[in-house]
Amino acid sequence: YRVPVSASELEDLVNRFHKSLLNESGRPDSVVSGRLYRILADSANRLQPGADLIVIPDRWLHFVPFAALQDPSTGRFLVRDHAVSYAPSATLLLSSLAHPSQRFSRSARVLAIGNPAFDQRAFQLPSLPASEVEARRIASLYADQNTLTGRDATDTALEHMAPNFDIIHFAGHAVVARDAPQLSHLVLASDGRSDGAVFSTDIAQWNLART
């Protein structure tokens, strides 16, 4: 279903929504959120209750926190009513759907990273104390678990440990480089020899066949 919206209008809405998320009140602009919800999620009222939503973002859609959009008719966040996931392209989505779906149980191995103690001189970003709680709660759901938080959540530790786990849960900052995607990165603690950034090009070279 095609939605008649200009790139400039979409850019303006996304920027306004981001600013509202960062203001001191902590309350997103419900009007802008509702407008984005109608344009991007349910413009034709065809989104069935409980339906899974798979987003294949492009350009400004990369900057839309879909899970945080609010249904203007109910005021509920989208994630309350729909499971939201992302795919980098339609080709890769169809390829993954062609393979048997993975089934996870409490016996799956999980690596949970939360609130890395990154160098705030190198990354002018706020600390995320709630993400440490999130990581520990996620890890507690599995019998075979490992949690990296604070100073232990280094870029080196993630690189070395990631290939050994079925599930990796990252609760921290991700920096998106809009004009140079290869420079997008996760922000982790430094191991003393690096600044803690884990770039998308680095992750692309890891062997995550079981993850």
- The predicted-structure confidence for 18-49, as pLDDT tens digits, reads as follows 888 777 766 788 899 989 999 888 876 778 88
Sequence-ordered list of residues with C-beta below 8 angstroms from that of 76, at least 6 positions apart, any chain = 70
Which 3 state secondary structure label does DSSP give 124? coil
Confidence (pLDDT) at 105: 73
Question: Could you write out the DSSP letters of every residue in 52-99?
Answer: -EEE---GGGGG--GGG-B-TTT--BHHHHS-EEE-S-HHHHHHHHTS
Question: Could you write out the DSSP letters of every residue in 135-160?
Answer: HHHHHTT-SEEEEEEETT-BHHHHHH
**pTM of the predicted model over 0.75:** no
Confidence (pLDDT) at 104: 66
Cα torsion 54, 159, 129, 76 to 10°: value is 0
Which 3 state secondary structure label does DSSP give 8? helix
DSSP state of 12: H
Residue 5 has pLDDT above 70, yes or no: yes
Confidence (pLDDT) at 180: 81
Confidence (pLDDT) at 137: 94
- State how far the Cα of 59 lies from the Cα of 5, in Å rounded to an integer: 14
- The angle, 0 to 180 degrees and rounded to 10, between the axes of the packed helices 30-40 and 7-22 is 140
- The predicted-structure confidence for 80-138, as pLDDT tens digits, reads as follows 888 888 888 888 888 878 876 666 677 789 999 999 999 988 898 888 889 999 999 99
- The predicted-structure confidence for 135-191, as pLDDT tens digits, reads as follows 999 999 998 899 999 999 999 999 999 999 999 999 999 988 877 888 899 999 998
